[in-house]
A = this chain, B = another copy of it.
Amino acid sequence: MKFQCDTTSRVPIYRQLIEQVRAGVATGKLKPGERLPSVRLLSRELVVNPNTIARAYTELEREGVLHTRQGLGVFVAQWTSELTKQSRREKLLAALDHFLTEAVHLGFTAEEVQKLLADRAGRFCFAVPAGESG
């Protein structure tokens, strides 16, 4: 997976990287166990400060999305949510409300939003209905 950063955006670079990794994992472009480019390599590729890359990786490790093996590199973790069902639901609701607020302010109809979500959801690697925990 190719990473990129938009120095034009007002979103901090390290946040852009975090979002890309999270999105990559969510859409399956990054598979569990896959190795990510090293801090030094990626910092040269994107022409950004190594500290910036390191910060993104560190935060993702704290989140449980990545896992560092000393001397081997950074890998996509086998992800399992440690949150309770209620906590997960609260977080999803907050994200959903934020999205719906945006949709209303952009002038879309409920049907358009529903349809767009149905279309777009196919690109994401959702959990399978069976094994739900938490």
Does A98 make an interface contact (CB < 8 A)? yes
* Neighbouring B residues of A133 by C-beta, 8 Å: 84, 86, 107
Contact pick for A91, options B88, B92, B106, CB 8 Å: B106
Q: Mark A14-35, 1 if CB is under 8 A from B, else 0.
A: 0000010011011100000000
| Given A10-B68, A61-B10, A96-B99: A88 touches B117 (CB 8 Å cut-off) | no
* CB pair A109 B97 closer than 8 Å: no
Instruction: Identify which of residues 78-134 in chain A touch chain B, using a CB-to-CB cut-off of 8 Å.
Output: 79-84, 86-88, 91-93, 95-111, 113-114, 116-118, 120-121, 124-129, 132-134
In the assembled complex, the Cα of A25 lies from the Cα of B99 at a distance in Å of 14
Apart from A23-B98, A96-B99, what are 19 other A-B pairs with CB-CB below 8 Å?
Answer: A8-B67, A8-B69, A10-B61, A10-B67, A10-B68, A22-B105, A62-B62, A79-B105, A80-B107, A81-B105, A82-B83, A83-B83, A83-B106, A95-B103, A109-B127, A110-B121, A110-B126, A113-B121, A117-B117
Q: What 8 A-B pairs are tightest by C-beta distance, nearest first?
A: A26-B104, A82-B87, A99-B99, A26-B101, A110-B126, A81-B107, A95-B102, A88-B106
